Amino acid sequence: MLLVNGASAVLLSLVMVAPPLWDHPGYDAEDSHHNPAETVITGGRIRQVTQKWQVSLRASDESCSGFGEPILSAGRLYVSDQLGISAYTAETGAVIWRYDWADPGDAETPRLAVSDGLLIAAGGGCNSQSDPDGEITALDARTGLPRWKLRIDIPVNAAVVDKDLVIVSGGSPSDEDAIVAYHVRDGRQAWRKAKHLAAGVSANGTILARLTDGSDVETGASVGIAVTTGAVRWTRAAEWTAQAATPGSDRFLVTDKTGTLHAVRVSDGTLDWTAATGDSTLLAVDRDRVYRVHGRDVEALRVTDGRRAWITRQKTDGVQPVTAGGLLYAGAAVLSSAGGTVAGPELSGRVIVAGGRIHQVTNGRLRTLA
């Protein structure tokens, strides 16, 4: 932009800043629950945070859907309620659009993600226990208009969006265990692997799957699968469930059938380390530490070797931890992620943190603090 004042001219450079993003349930496809881009709400500012707005989510006594966790993209918050999905302006909480379930009494709480301008909702029905079906709906993220919808033969027990694909996994007494990948753009099936189950974690294009007999009985092997093709990259004699992957996508954080935490190399499935104690699946991970919550205890382990960096006890039971701006949010007093010391006020419930704002759903209300 060129501003002219008499004979003088001043050239101003405009710095384009990427909009804040939290477009997967765990921030990213790695399900890390770590936002490395947060620079506003830090240790020096967390005590200045106050509530900016709050809205009540739509409720229905006849619905079997709960209130979902919000995700954020392009200045919009997306959250599922008991009647469908609503989009709100992140700045003010104003409603942008709403999408209604065809039958709220038979629609479970979906998993949401934004990809290629589409809001993907992966869920299904909730009335059948013996033969549940899954459903994937793609909505225009800007307008809420449906772009495509699939009714699938397996329930959606896990889902992740990565590399322009929606990967779902599930099985039931009437459906053989399977992992199926669909193209985000149009819902076309990309590949399917029967007798495999996976969690909602992808490490930059690799998912971890467990082999089964087709009926949820594990057969003692885990495999790394390429998201784009479904090809098996490696096989290990272990029964691992992925809980997260590191932000650099070099390690899966997995639990075995005893609940023990391990770090496994994404490239070849080599076991990197095993945590000495603890059996929690409430994890967050940044480039330095793995954070896990078990009851009132919050613990940090070093990413490099799994050794304990610190542990602290909260006044109340913790929730899914989130780390951003050097802070750790675990359902009680905000902590320093580096040392586990109290750094901010009490903040109960799960949160997402992006762009200098804290968003959360609690007691049927969506609110924003800044």
Residue 116 lies in a domain: yes
Query: Using one digit for the tens of pLDDT, what is the confidence trace for 207-254?
Result: 999 999 999 999 999 999 999 999 999 999 999 999 999 999 999 999
Number of domains in the chain: 1
In the three-class reduction of DSSP (H, G, I as helix; E, B as strand; rest coil), residue 147 is classed as strand
pLDDT value of residue 229: 98
Question: Do residues 254 and 264 lie in contact, with contact meaning Cβ atoms separated by under 8 Å?
Answer: yes
Measured distance CA(354)–CA(205) in Å, rounded: 24
Alpha carbon of residue 23 to chain centroid: 8
Domain membership of residue 169 (yes or no) is yes
13 exposure class (CB count in 10 Å sphere: 0-12, 13-18, 19+):
exposed
Residue 12: inside a domain, yes or no? Answer: no
Q: How many CA atoms lie within 13 A of 29 on its CB side?
A: 21
Which of 183, 179, 172, 128 minimizes the C-alpha distance to 150? 183
Contacts 24+ apart (CB under 8 A), 188-195: 190/165, 190/228, 190/230, 191/229, 191/230, 192/230, 193/225, 193/230
Report the distance separating Cα 306 and Cα 33, nearest Å: 18
Is the residue at 6 inside a domain?
no
- Torsion over CA: 362, 367, 369, 370 (sign): positive
Rounded-to-integer distance, Cα 326 and Cα 46, Å: 11
**CA 266 to CA 355: how far, in whole Å?**
30
**Cβ neighbours of residue 167 closer than 8 Å, sequence gap 6 or more:** 159, 160, 161, 179, 180, 181, 182, 198, 202, 207, 227
Q: What is the CATH number of the domain that holds 329?
A: 2.130.10.10
What is the 3-state composition of the chain as percent helix, strand, coil, each rounded to the nearest 5? 0, 50, 50
Residue 7 covered by a domain: no
Q: Which residues share a beta bridge with 354?
A: 357
Spans of the chain, pLDDT less than 50: 1-16
Q: What span, in angstroms and rounded, lies between the C-alpha atoms of 204 and 190? A: 17
- Tokens coding 32: 């890390």
Could you tell me the maximum CA-CA distance found in the chain, to the nearest angstrom? 80
| Domain residue limits at 82 | 22-369
Give the DSSP H/E element, type plus range, for residue 336: strand 333-336
Give the number of other Cβ atoms within 10 Å of residue 170's Cβ.
Answer: 24
Q: What is the pLDDT of residue 17?
A: 58
Does some domain include residue 118?
A: yes
